[in-house]
A and B are shown apart, each in its own frame.
Chain A
Amino acid sequence: MSVMGIEAVGARPVAATLPSLASLPTGAVGPLAGGAPAGPASGEDVASAFGAALTRGIASVEAAEKKADGLAVQAATGTLTDVHDYVIAANQAKLATELTVAVRNKAVEAFSEIMRLQA
């Protein structure tokens, strides 16, 4: 029950590949737009902000997992006072994990979509 699994799925690699993703579309779309100025934030900024947000998300998932783990240990050792506390913490950890995975999946989807532009 660790967030390492999420990393293995590729959460961090996504953050790492995003700068190249960001530089690709701006380079390709720029000429098409007739030299129009880029958006309010540069691609690099957006990419690093997204990476930081994802890292923060993973940190909060890790905290939720840790809380659920601690309560699971209490349940096993018989020191758990509230049964619902453990189930609620486990549910929150599950939701947080699924949210992070959903964000990652959307990012990968967007990346793949852009890669298909070149095909």
Chain B
Amino acid sequence: MTIFSAIGIAGTGATVHRKWLDAISDNIANINTARPSSEAAYQEKRVIAEAVDYGSGTGGVRVAGTALASSAEGRMVYEPDNALADAEGYVRYPDVDLGSQMSQMIMAQRGYQANLAVVDRARETYMAALRIGGGA
């Protein structure tokens, strides 16, 4: 554990929320990625966060991996004009809910900001400690 560990721990939280934002960004970027009905649809990605035991001397959080949160079947949409449409006129769209992604984005953004607020407050606290006895 380093000397100013509160700042480092908040940094790990910021990193996890940044990765969550990356996953949301990926999901929204692919929300209209159509595939032929013979292929698998894009699957929604979700970041799996895992706490790092503070007793081990580090603390904080890390990304344990990503999980696929929607099915490969996706949604079948009737789009006969689409170049990828099959004989019946269907294409496969990812089963990603934009509303859910938007609310996740708010949570990820607020979580990131909260961690940065911790960094700022911890820095102020340490600075106050360094000023002990200097105000005479």
Q: Does B126 count as interface, using CB distance less than 8 angstroms?
A: yes
**Of A92, A99, A102, A106, which one neighbours B7 at CB under 8 angstroms?**
A92
CB contacts (< 8 Å) of A98 on chain B: these are 127, 130
* CB neighbours of B10 from chain A (8 A): 88
State which residues 41-98 of A face B: CB under 8 Å. 60, 64, 82, 84-85, 88, 91-92, 95-96, 98
* A82/B123 in contact, CB under 8 A: no
User: Contact between A95 and B127 (Cβ–Cβ < 8 Å)?
Assistant: yes
A95-B15 contact given A60-B3, A84-B116, A88-B7, CB 8 Å threshold: no
Q: Does B62 have its Cβ within 8 Å of any Cβ on chain A?
A: no
- State whether B18 touches A96 (Cβ < 8 A): no
For chain B, the count of residues having a C-beta within 8 Å of the partner chain is: 18
User: Known contacts being A99-B130, A102-B130, is A92 close to B15, with CB within 8 Å?
Assistant: no
Whole-angstrom CA separation of A102 from B129 in the bound complex: 10
Q: Are A82 and B18 in contact (CB under 8 A)?
A: yes
Partner of A95, one of B11, B116, B126, B134: B126
Partner of A96, one of B3, B11, B119: B3
Would you call A85 and B15 a contact (CB within 8 A)? yes
A85 touching B3 in the complex, CB below 8 Å, given contacts A95-B126, A98-B130, A99-B130 = no
CB pair B18 A95 closer than 8 Å:
no
Of the candidates B8, B127, B134, the one whose C-beta lies within 8 Å of that of A92 is B8
Interface readout for B111-136 with A: 1 if CB under 8 Å, 0 if not? 00000100100010011001001100
Chain B residue with Cβ nearest A88: B11
* Cβ < 8 Å to A, chain B residues 78-136: 116, 119, 123, 126-127, 130, 133-134
With A84-B116, A96-B4 known as contacts, the answer to whether A91 contacts B14 (CB < 8 A) is no
Residues of B within 8 A of A (CB): 2-4, 7-8, 10-11, 14-15, 18, 116, 119, 123, 126-127, 130, 133-134
5 closest A-B pairs (Cβ-Cβ)? Answer: A88-B11, A84-B14, A102-B130, A92-B4, A95-B126
Residues of A within 8 A of B (CB): 60, 64, 82, 84-85, 88, 91-92, 95-96, 98-99, 102, 106
> Other CB < 8 Å A-B pairs besides A60-B2, A84-B14, 4 of them?
A84-B15, A95-B7, A95-B127, A102-B134
8 A-B interface contacts by CB (under 8 A): A82-B18, A84-B18, A88-B10, A88-B119, A91-B7, A95-B7, A95-B126, A106-B133
